[in-house]
């Protein structure tokens, strides 16, 4: 995942946070209050989450293929690049796991609310 993709994911997370709190996202120039009849940008959380999971899976597959290429003796693969890709994939996976844990915790709290 490049730094541009990371920045994009962070911006989307901030936009979702702003939308959840009902605040307009001034930095993006788009009002995210979600009031009916406004031109608020619709953010599809499911597709955002699926895209992120797919990107992380791709990162892990690339890191695995680089590691296998290095292990088989491919001279075009540098050990430094292999280690960086493996670390980035691991970090992205841990971050995704933390997000999943927070979502599960939020779901459980909502389900335990008394009506």
Query: Residues 69, 105: one domain?
Result: yes
Across the range 45-52, mean pLDDT stands at: 85
Query: Residues 36, 56: one domain?
Result: no
Q: In the predicted model, is pLDDT for residue 45 greater than 70?
A: yes
Query: What predicted TM-score, i.e. pTM, was given to this entire model?
Result: 0.58
Query: Residues 24, 55: one domain?
Result: no
Query: Residues 63, 104: one domain?
Result: yes
Query: Residues 60, 36: one domain?
Result: no
**24 vs 11, more confident:** 11
Give the other-Cβ count within 10 Å of 85's Cβ: 19
Instruction: Output the pLDDT for position 39.
Output: 44
Write out the residue range of the structural domain in which residue 29 sits.
Answer: 1-41
Interior CA angle at 106 toward 103 and 110, to 5°?
Answer: 140
| Rounded (10°) angle between helices 45-71 and 79-111 | 150
Query: Residues 68, 103: one domain?
Result: yes
Query: Residues 32, 50: one domain?
Result: no
User: Lowest-confidence range among 9-18, 70-79, 95-104?
Assistant: 9-18
Contact 99, 53 (CB under 8 A): no
């Amino acid at each position: 995942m490049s730094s541009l993709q990371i920045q994009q994911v962070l911006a989307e997370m901030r936009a979702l946070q702003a939308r959840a709190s009902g605040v307009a996202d001034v930095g993006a120039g788009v009002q995210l209050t979600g009031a009916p009849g406004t031109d608020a940008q619709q953010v599809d959380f499911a597709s955002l989450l699926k895209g992120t999971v797919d990107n992380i899976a791709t990162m892990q597959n690339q890191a695995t293929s680089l590691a296998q290429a290095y292990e088989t003796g491919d001279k075009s693969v540098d050990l430094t690049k292999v280690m960086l890709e493996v670390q980035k994939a691991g970090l992205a996976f841990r971050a995704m796991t933390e997000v999943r844990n927070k979502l599960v915790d939020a779901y459980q709290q909502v389900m335990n609310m008394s009506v």
